[in-house]
Structure 1
Amino acid sequence: MRLDKFLKISRLIKRRTLAKEVADQGRITINGNQAKASTNVAVGDELIIKFGQKLVTIEVVTLKETVRKDEAEMLYNIIKEEKINA
């Protein structure tokens, strides 16, 4: 599954266009490698996403094409969240 689609379906980022912009700005890494919006995400991948002053590390648990809002958090586990002092 494409990275931008996974971020939208998991509701980590609300819109796919916004997910694409964040990826294109170089604010997402998958398993330590810089990711583009079109990068494939697989179960077990570790994503590090930079949201403003916060770094969020997640692990992909499962991939689904569609999920209900209350099930979206089951697609990933948050490993850690840390503040960035800029």
Structure 2
Amino acid sequence: MRLDKFLKISRLIKRRTLAKEVADQGRITINGKQAKASSNVAIGDELAIRFGQKLVTIEIAALRETVKKDEAQELYKVIKEEKIGN
């Protein structure tokens, strides 16, 4: 599954176009490597996403084409959240 689609379905980022912009800005890594919006993700991959002053690291637990809002968090597991910057 494409990275931008996973981020939208998992509701980590609300819109796919926004997910593409974040990836194009170099703020997402997959298993330590720089990711593009078109990068493929698989179960067990570790994503690090920089949201402003926060770095969120998650592990992909499941991949589905569609998911209900209350089940979206089942697609990933938060490993750590840390503040970055000054």
**Residue 57 of structure 2 corresponds to which residue in structure 1?**
57
Deviations, residues 43-71 of structure 1 (Å, cap 9, x unaligned): 00000000000000000000000000000
Q: Which runs of 4+ in 1 moved over 6 A?
A: none
TM-score, normalised with respect to structure 2: 0.99
Mind listing any 5+ residue stretches in structure 2 that lack a counterpart?
Answer: none
- Measure the CA separation in 1 of the matches of 2:8 and 2:39: 14
Aligned length: 86
Superposed, which structure 2 residues align to 1:56-75 within 5 Å?
56-75=56-75
Percent identity reads 81
CA RMSD between the two structures? 0.5
TM-score, normalised with respect to structure 1: 0.99
**Residue 31 of structure 1 corresponds to which residue in structure 2?**
31
Mind listing any 5+ residue stretches in structure 1 that lack a counterpart?
Answer: none
